[in-house]
Chain A
Amino acid sequence: MLFRVVVGLKEGVRDVVGEKVARKIRSELGMAVDDVRIVSVFTLEGVSPEQVDTALERAALHDPVLHEVSLSPLARDFDWILEVGFRPGVTDNEGRTARETLGVALGLSKKELESVRVYTSRQYLIRAGLDEAGVHRIAADLLANELIQRFEYKSAAQWAASPGFEARAARVTGQASDAVASVAISTMTDDELMDFSRANTLALSLRELHVIRDYYANPAVRAARTAMGLGDEPTDAEIEVLAQTWSEHCKHKIFGAKIDYENRETGRSAIYSSLYRTFIQGSTKALRERNAACGPHGDYCLSVFKDNAGVIAFSETLNVCVKMETHNSPSALDPYGGALTGIVGVNRDPMGTGLGANLLCNTDVFCFASPFHEGELPPRLLHPRRVFEGVREGVEHGGNKSGIPTVNGSIVFDERYLGKPLVYCGTIGTMPKTVAGRPSHKKQAMPGDFIVMSGGRIGADGIHGATFSSEELHEGSPATAVQIGDPITQRKMYDFLMRARDRGLYNAITDNGAGGLSSSVGEMAEDTGGFDMDLARAPLKYDGLRPWEILISEAQERMTMAVPPAKIDEFLALSAEMDVESTVLGTFTGSGKYLVRYGDKHVACLDMEFLHEGVPQMELEAVWERPVVASEPVPAVADQGGLLKAMLGRLNICSKEYVVRQYDHEVQGRSAVKPMVGVKADGPSDAGVLRPELGSERGLVVSHGICPQYSDLDTYWMMANAIDEAIRNAVAVGGDISYMAGCDNFCWCDPVQSESTPDGRYKLAQLVRANLALAHFCLGFGVPCVSGKDSMKNDYKGGGRKISIPPTVLFSVIGVIPDVNKCVTSDFKAPGDLIYVLGLTRPEFGGSEVAAQLGFSHASVPQVDLLSAKARYQTLFAAMQAGLVSACHDCSDGGLGVTLAEMCIGGRLGARIDLAAVPACEAMDATGLLYAESASRLVVSVPPAHAAAFEARFAGQWFARIGAVDDSGALRAVHGEGAVLDEPVEALARAFKATLDW
C-alpha cells in the first residue's frame, strides 16, 4: 500500500522557493504568473498505517515550526496544480534521506528498512491566467526534464471535481537474471557487424570488430575457452567489456593514432606515431629530466599520466594532485544531473589517486551558447539558458554539499556550444607524503587481495556512458546515460575511505567511472595480471540487471579497493560502522585472465593482454591549410565611453558574480585569494590561492586559460594563448613560474574523416597543431603537464543540422606559492599608485571581443613571444616577493581597456591613462590600443615609493608607466593630446554587472 504524505508551508511562512520558481517562469519563459507555491509529497511504500502515524507524530518528514503535514491533499487557492516526480530508477536523493530518516525515527533495523521505499515529488500551485498549453510549457520547458521526470497537472476545476493525484511508486520492476548470451560474430558480414555495433551503442569500428573476431578465431584462445567450458563466440559481456575498454572515452585512440600530417602552408609533411606520447608525455618527460638535473625545486612531479590524477610535491609533508574532466554529453541531455555527476565524478579521481587524496578544491569552466539565444532549437537540444542554469545548479549542489570549495572557473560563450555545452569539472586533492608508512602517491594491488566495492549500489543508470560519449549527440541518444549524483552518499564513503587509508587497510584504490567495474577492476588487475570476480555478490539498486549490465554500469558513488586478506575484517567492520556499504566481489590473481562469473556461470573470460593492448592503432590523415580570413581596418569609434561599457557587458567579459556567489569558495577555511576581490568584492580576480596546510603560510595557486575564439584562425596559437593565459593568471596573483604544473583538457569536434565529417582532415590538423604548440610552450615556459583528458566527439546532428563546437582546450595550472602573505589582487589600492603595462601591444584583433563587438573581421591571431613572456613572469614574481606591487591584473578578453576598468571597479578608484605611452609595435589608434588582445601582458600598480626599484627590475623589458590611480571616481584616458574617454567607475561597474544580474 502507498501513502502520500503531503507537506506544505504554514500560513504566514514566506514561500521563498515558490517565489523563485515564479521569477524563473517570468524571466526564462517570459510568461506572466501571479504566484507559485510549493507542496512536497513523500510517497511511502512498505510501512504500516500505524508507522505512518508515528512518523507524522515524530515529525520525521516535516518541520513543525514551518510546515503543516497531512495524508490528504493540502493544495488550495490555485488556478493550476502541477506535480513533478521522478521516473523509475532515477536517483532520488531526498527520497533516500527520507527513507533513512523513517528508519531512524521508527527504530527500524537494517533488515526491516530493506522493504521501505520513499519516492518524492513536488507540487507547484500556480496562480496565473494560463491555458493548458501554458501549464504544459512550464512543466516541459522549465520544471521537469522528461528524460528523468514525469509530470501531471490539473486545473482548479478538475481538482475540485477530483482532488489529489494518484499515488505512484517510481519503482523499477525486474527479475534477478543470470542470462549470458553469446554473440555470433564469426558469421556476421561487415554490414552486420557495424549494425550490431550501432544498435548496441558499442562505438566499435569495423577494424576493431575484425580484431575481436580474429581473437576468437585464434585456435589457442578457442582451446583455452573450451577447457573452461566457454563457447567459441564472445559472450555479450565480453563484447561490452571490449567496447568500453576500447572506447575513445577510455582509450583515447585518436591521441594514440598514427597520423600523417601534411602542412600545405609550408609544404612539409610529418608522421606522428602518437600525439599523446610525442607531445604531451614527451614534453613532460623532458621537463622532469631537466628539473631533476638543474631545476630550482628539483623534479617535483611524482606521478604523471598513469594514475587518476597527476601528483606533484607541495611541501616536505604534503603532495598535491590534480585532475580535470568533462561531462559534456550527459549535461546536454540533463544539465543538472550531468553537471552534478561531473563534479562528484571528478572528485573520485583524486580520491582514487595513489592511496587516496583528501579533496582540497574544485574548479569549473563552462562553455555555453548565449543564454539569450533566440530562434528555433534543433530537436533534443535544450535552450542555452536552461543548460546554463541546470549546470550551475548541478555544480553548486555537487561542490557545496561535498564541502569542497570552488576556487576558480570561468564561462565562455560561443553559439556553437548550442550543439554541445562543455562542462569542465576539476578537483585538486592533497595527500600526506606518507600514509600508514607508505609513499602516498604509489599503489599496488597484490595477488590474493580481495576486490572490494564500496559506496553506492549498481543500477541501470549510466550504462553505456563511455561509449555514448564516444559518439556524436543525436536524436536517439540513450537516456540511461543520464544520472543524478548523490553527494552525501559519496561524502560518507569518502569519510570512511580516508580513515581506512590512514589505517593502511587497502593496497590500492580507484574509482568507478566510465566503464564501471569492468574498467576499475580491469585496470587495477594490471598490477597483478588478472582477477576473478563474482557479479552475483554485487549489491544492486533493484533486480532486473543482466550480468553484463552489472559489469559496465556507471552508477555513481562507488570506489574499488584491493584489500589484503589480513585487513579485510577491519575494513568491513569500519565500513559497516560508518554506514557505508562494502562488498567483497572477488580476488586479484596472477592468472593473466579477466575472469567474471555470476555464481557458477561464466560471464566473461578475456586475456588481460588482449583487453588492454589488443586495440588496433588508428591511422589517420591530417591536412593543414590556413583559413583565408580578411583583415579589415578597426572601425572609427565616436563614443569610446559607450564602447567600453558595451565591452564590459559582453557575455565573455561581464561579471560572473551571479554564479560565483552561489558556489562556496572558502569552505575548509584555506582561502587567500578569492574569485571576487576589492572594496565591494565585485572585481574579478585572476586566480584562486589557498593554504593546503592550515598551519603554514605556503600557498597553492589555481588558474586556467581557455581561448577557443582563436581556433578558427589557428589552433596552434589558440593552444599557445591558453597556456600563456593560465600561467599569466597564476603569476598575476603571485605565482612562481618555476614551480607550476599543467593539466590539459582537449574538447574537439570529430576529427576523423568520414561521410558525416567531410572536413575531418582539417579538424585533425587543428588537433596536431594544438599539440605542437602544447609541447613547444610547456617546454619553453618550463611547466610540465601532469594530467589531462580528451573528449573528441563534441558534435550534434539532428533536424538536418550538424553543429560542431570550436576546438577548445582548457589549460589549468597549479603552482606553489612560498608565502600567501605576498599575494597580490587585481583591485587598485590607493590614489597616487603608478600604473604600468607590462608587454607589447600589437594590432592583433583576430577572434577578439572588440572585433565581435564592432563587427569587423581580422586575420591576426595573438602570438605568444615565449622568451620575453617568461622573463616578464620571472621578474614580476621577484617584484611581488619584494613587495613592490600593489595590484596586478592580466590583460586578456577585451584587452587593456577592460583590464583597467576592472581594476578601477575592484578598488572603486579612478585612474588617468595616456594611451600614447603604451608600448606598441606599430602605430595604433586608441581603439586598437585599448582592445587588442595581444598575449602575455599585465597591468600593475606600484606605490610611488617603489617606482624606482620596480622600474630597475624591468629594465630592458617591454613595459611602460601609462598613468596613475586617482580619487576622481572616473577612468579617464587620453591619447597624447586627444581625450579618449572619461567614465564614472560606478557606471562601469553597472555595465560590468548588468548582463548576468539574475
Chain B
Amino acid sequence: MARVNALVITGYGTNCENESAYALKAAGAQSADIVYFSDLVAGHVRMDSYNYLLCPGGFLDGDDLGAAQAAALRWRWANAADGSPVLDQLKAFFNSGGIILGICNGFQLLCKLGLLPAVGGRYFERQISLSHNDSGRFEDRWVRLKANPASPCVFTKGIDLIDMPVRHGEGKIIPMDDATFQAILDSNLVAVQYVDPATGEPTQEYPANPNGSPLGVAGLTDPSGRILGLMPHPEAYNHPTNHPSWTRGTDPAIPLGLAMLEAGVRYLQDR
C-alpha cells in the first residue's frame, strides 16, 4: 500500500491549516505537514516528496481583490530561491499523479489558478470564478451535500449524502460563459451539490443552497478526478460533536466530513 504523505499549504491569510492537517491524519494519512508558501519560496520544502495536497480555507490576502485572487497571482508568478517557478512544482506534483483537495478559500484558489474545472483538459486556464453569495453576506451554517455518482472525483467515491458547514461570503459559481457551464455538466465535473435535507434533491432555495450557486453546485472536480474543490468544509466535521444537532442524536446514514478526506487516502493507497 502506498504511503500517504500530505502537504497542507498555508500562509498569507490561510487559517484552516491545523484542523486540515489533523483531519488528514485522522483520515489515515501517514503524515500531514503544514508548510508555509514561504517555505516553498525559500526552498526549505519541495512538493515532490508528497502525494496529497490540501489547500485549506482562510482569507488569502484578506480576499481583498476577490477571493484568493492575489494568492493565485502569487502562485502564478513566484519563483523559488533557485530561480525556478513555484508553479512548476505544482504542475509536476499533479502530473506525477498527486491528488489535490481545495476547501473553501482553497477551492477559490484552485479555480482562480485554473486547476478547476479544466474543461477539455485545459489546465491553468481560468474558466470559472466564485463571487458574492446572493445574500450579500458571509454566513456560517451547515448544509447537506449530495455527491454526483457519475463524476470521476476520487474524493467522493462511496459517499452519497454528507453534512458539513459552509463559512464563506463568496461561494457562488460563475462560469466564463454558458458553454463552459454546459461542458462542466456534460463531463460530470460537478462533484457535490447542495440539497434540500428533506428531499435529498439539489436545490436553489436559500438557505439549503447558501449562496445561490447554479444547480446547487458546491464543488467541482477536474477531468482526471484527482482534484476536488468545494466551498463547504469537510475538515470541520472531524468529531461527532461538531454537528449542530449532535445532542439530538446522529443519523447513521450521514458520515463525518472526514469521509471525503478518507476517500482521497484510499485512492492513493489502492492505486
Residues of A bordering B, CB below 8 Å = 13-14, 16-17, 19-20, 23, 58-66, 93-94, 96-98, 100-101, 104-105, 107, 396, 400-404, 487-488, 491-492, 495, 577-579, 661-674, 676-679, 681, 691, 694-695, 820-821, 823-825, 827, 829
Q: How far is the CB of A666 from chain B (nearest CB, A)?
A: 6
Set A17, A23, A101, A825: member contacting B247, Cβ < 8 A = A825
Residue among B15, B16, B58, B239 with the highest chain A CB neighbour number at 10 A? B15
- Whether the Cβ atoms of A401 and B62 lie closer than 8 Å is yes
Q: List 16 A-B contacts (CB under 8 A).
A: A13-B174, A60-B73, A63-B112, A65-B128, A66-B131, A96-B64, A97-B64, A105-B76, A488-B13, A662-B138, A663-B140, A667-B236, A669-B239, A673-B241, A678-B248, A681-B141
Tell whether B146 is near chain A: CB-to-CB under 8 Å: no
- Whether the Cβ atoms of A101 and B73 lie closer than 8 Å is yes
Contacts of A670 in B (CB 8 A): 19
**B residues 114-153 in Cβ contact with A at 8 Å:** 126-129, 131-142
- Whether the Cβ atoms of A667 and B15 lie closer than 8 Å is yes
- Whether the Cβ atoms of B141 and A669 lie closer than 8 Å is no
Tell whether B23 is near chain A: CB-to-CB under 8 Å: yes
Tell whether B31 is near chain A: CB-to-CB under 8 Å: no
Q: How far is the CB of A364 from chain B (nearest CB, A)?
A: 14
Give the complex CA separation of A562 and B131 in angstroms. 44
Number of A-B contacts (CB under 8 A): 189
- Whether the Cβ atoms of A492 and B73 lie closer than 8 Å is no
Give the complex CA separation of A335 and B145 in angstroms. 38
Q: How far is the CB of B60 from chain A (nearest CB, A)?
A: 9
- Whether the Cβ atoms of A66 and B174 lie closer than 8 Å is yes
Residue among A58, A62, A66 with the highest chain B CB neighbour number at 10 A? A66
- Whether the Cβ atoms of B176 and A578 lie closer than 8 Å is no
From A580, which residue of chain B is reached at the shortest CB distance? Answer: B38
Q: How far is the CB of B110 from chain A (nearest CB, A)?
A: 14
Give the complex CA separation of A678 and B14 in angstroms. 31
Tell whether B96 is near chain A: CB-to-CB under 8 Å: no
Contacts of B66 in A (CB 8 A): 63, 66
**Further contacts, 17 of them, CB under 8 A, given A579-B38, A664-B138, A669-B237:** A16-B133, A23-B136, A63-B126, A65-B127, A100-B70, A101-B61, A101-B74, A104-B78, A401-B59, A488-B59, A578-B38, A664-B167, A669-B22, A670-B19, A676-B244, A681-B245, A823-B247
- Whether the Cβ atoms of A694 and B22 lie closer than 8 Å is yes
- Whether the Cβ atoms of B174 and A669 lie closer than 8 Å is no
Contacts of A59 in B (CB 8 A): 73
**B residues 1-35 in Cβ contact with A at 8 Å:** 10-16, 18-19, 22-23
From A998, which residue of chain B is reached at the shortest CB distance? Answer: B137
B contact face: mostly helix, strand, loop, or mixed: mixed
Give the complex CA separation of A273 and B101 in angstroms. 62
Contacts of A667 in B (CB 8 A): 15-16, 57, 167, 236
- Whether the Cβ atoms of A488 and B140 lie closer than 8 Å is no
Contacts of B50 in A (CB 8 A): none
- Whether the Cβ atoms of B65 and A94 lie closer than 8 Å is yes
From A887, which residue of chain B is reached at the shortest CB distance? Answer: B247
- Whether the Cβ atoms of B241 and A820 lie closer than 8 Å is yes
Give the complex CA separation of A13 and B130 in angstroms. 11
From A16, which residue of chain B is reached at the shortest CB distance? Answer: B132
Give the complex CA separation of A691 and B19 in angstroms. 11
From B111, which residue of chain A is reached at the shortest CB distance? Answer: A65
Tell whether B222 is near chain A: CB-to-CB under 8 Å: no
Give the complex CA separation of A836 and B22 in angstroms. 41
From A658, which residue of chain B is reached at the shortest CB distance? Answer: B137
From B165, which residue of chain A is reached at the shortest CB distance? Answer: A666
Give the complex CA separation of A665 and B166 in angstroms. 11
Number of interface residues of B (CB under 8 A): 66
Q: How far is the CB of B63 from chain A (nearest CB, A)?
A: 8
Contacts of B183 in A (CB 8 A): none
- Whether the Cβ atoms of B140 and A661 lie closer than 8 Å is yes
- Whether the Cβ atoms of B174 and A577 lie closer than 8 Å is no
- Whether the Cβ atoms of B58 and A403 lie closer than 8 Å is yes
Contacts of A100 in B (CB 8 A): 61, 70
Contacts of A827 in B (CB 8 A): 247-248
Q: How far is the CB of B118 from chain A (nearest CB, A)?
A: 14
Q: How far is the CB of A469 from chain B (nearest CB, A)?
A: 27
From A10, which residue of chain B is reached at the shortest CB distance? Answer: B174
Set A66, A98, A402: member contacting B15, Cβ < 8 A = A402
Contacts of B133 in A (CB 8 A): 16
- 7 A-B pairs with the lowest CB-CB distances in the bound complex, closest first: A403-B15, A669-B19, A20-B136, A97-B64, A65-B129, A16-B132, A672-B241
Give the complex CA separation of A23 and B136 in angstroms. 10
Contacts of A66 in B (CB 8 A): 66, 129, 131, 174
Contacts of B42 in A (CB 8 A): 577
Give the complex CA separation of A438 and B261 in angstroms. 36
From B248, which residue of chain A is reached at the shortest CB distance? Answer: A829
Tell whether B69 is near chain A: CB-to-CB under 8 Å: yes
- Given A16-B132, A666-B140, A669-B19, A65 and B13 touching (CB < 8 A)? no
Tell whether B238 is near chain A: CB-to-CB under 8 Å: yes
Contacts of B58 in A (CB 8 A): 403
Give the complex CA separation of A664 and B112 in angstroms. 24
- Given A495-B11, A694-B22, A63 and B62 touching (CB < 8 A)? no
- Given A16-B133, A16-B136, A58-B73, A669 and B15 touching (CB < 8 A)? no
Set A62, A97, A495, A829: member contacting B36, Cβ < 8 A = A495
- Given A65-B129, A94-B64, A667-B167, A403 and B16 touching (CB < 8 A)? yes
Contacts of A492 in B (CB 8 A): 11-13
Set A105, A487, A662, A823: member contacting B77, Cβ < 8 A = A105
Give the complex CA separation of A58 and B70 in angstroms. 12
Give the complex CA separation of A386 and B216 in angstroms. 34
- Given A93-B64, A97-B62, A824-B247, A578 and B22 touching (CB < 8 A)? no
- Whether the Cβ atoms of B70 and A101 lie closer than 8 Å is yes
- Whether the Cβ atoms of B18 and A487 lie closer than 8 Å is no
Give the complex CA separation of A676 and B139 in angstroms. 13
- Whether the Cβ atoms of A668 and B140 lie closer than 8 Å is no
Give the complex CA separation of A400 and B23 in angstroms. 21
Contacts of A107 in B (CB 8 A): 77
Contacts of A65 in B (CB 8 A): 126-129, 174-176
- Whether the Cβ atoms of B70 and A677 lie closer than 8 Å is no
Contacts of B129 in A (CB 8 A): 63, 65-66
Tell whether B269 is near chain A: CB-to-CB under 8 Å: no
- Whether the Cβ atoms of B244 and A17 lie closer than 8 Å is no
Q: How far is the CB of B134 from chain A (nearest CB, A)?
A: 6
Set B12, B16, B69, B240: member contacting A668, Cβ < 8 A = B16
- Whether the Cβ atoms of B136 and A19 lie closer than 8 Å is yes
- Given A104-B78, A488-B62, A820-B241, A63 and B69 touching (CB < 8 A)? yes
Q: How far is the CB of B185 from chain A (nearest CB, A)?
A: 17
From B75, which residue of chain A is reached at the shortest CB distance? Answer: A104
Q: How far is the CB of A93 from chain B (nearest CB, A)?
A: 6
- Whether the Cβ atoms of B165 and A829 lie closer than 8 Å is no
- Given A17-B136, A661-B141, A669 and B244 touching (CB < 8 A)? no
Give the complex CA separation of A63 and B127 in angstroms. 11
Contacts of B196 in A (CB 8 A): none
Give the complex CA separation of A65 and B173 in angstroms. 11
Tell whether B242 is near chain A: CB-to-CB under 8 Å: yes
Kindly supply a per-residue 1/0 record for chain B positions 63-101, scoring 1 wherever the CB is within 8 Å of any chain A CB and 0 otherwise: 111100110011011100000000000000000000000
- Whether the Cβ atoms of B70 and A695 lie closer than 8 Å is no
Give the complex CA separation of A674 and B236 in angstroms. 13
Give the complex CA separation of A16 and B244 in angstroms. 29
Q: How far is the CB of A131 from chain B (nearest CB, A)?
A: 27
From B235, which residue of chain A is reached at the shortest CB distance? Answer: A669
Set B10, B16, B235: member contacting A495, Cβ < 8 A = B10
Kindly supply a per-residue 1/0 record for chain B positions 35-60, scoring 1 wherever the CB is within 8 Å of any chain A CB and 0 otherwise: 01010011000000000000001110
Give the complex CA separation of A94 and B61 in angstroms. 9
Contacts of B65 in A (CB 8 A): 61-63, 94, 97-98, 101
Contacts of A401 in B (CB 8 A): 13, 59, 62-63
Give the complex CA separation of A882 and B70 in angstroms. 52
Contacts of A491 in B (CB 8 A): 13, 15, 59
